[in-house]
Amino acid sequence: MIRMSDPVLQALYALRDFLYERVYESAGIKTEFEKAQAIVEELWRYFHDHADEFRARWWSKATREEEGLDRAIGDFLCGMTDRYAMRLYQELRLPKPWTVY
C-alpha cells in the first residue's frame, strides 16, 4: 500500500484548509466569479438574440448543423479565454466612447 507519511498528510490538510479559506471561498473571489458568470450569461443571451450574426461570425465548421445553435454557442463560450470573453463583451454590450468633433 502506498500512503503519505503523517507529516506530509497533515501538511496537505493544512494547505487544503488554507486554500479553501483564502482562495476558493473568499468573498472577493466569489464576487469576481459572479461578475464572470454574468458576462458569460449575457454573451449567451446576446448570441441567441443575434443568431444570424453568430452564425456569420462565429459558427464553427466543426459544429454540425443538427447539433443546433445551443451547442454551437456553448462550444464557442467554452473555448474562450477570460480576456477574450471580456473583450467581446465590451465590444458587443458596452457603449463606445463618445468622440469630440
User: What does the pLDDT look like over 76-89, one tens digit per residue?
Assistant: 999 999 999 999 99
Does 16 have pLDDT greater than 80? yes
Domain residue ranges in the chain: 6-93
Does 99 have pLDDT greater than 80? no
Does 61 have pLDDT greater than 90? no
User: What does the pLDDT look like over 29-46, one tens digit per residue?
Assistant: 888 989 999 999 999 999
Residue of 60 and 57 predicted with greater confidence: 57
From CA 44, how far away is CA 89, in angstroms rounded? 10
CB-count burial class (<10 Å; 0-12, 13-18, 19+) for 82: exposed
Count other Cβ atoms within 10 Å, centred on residue 76.
Answer: 19
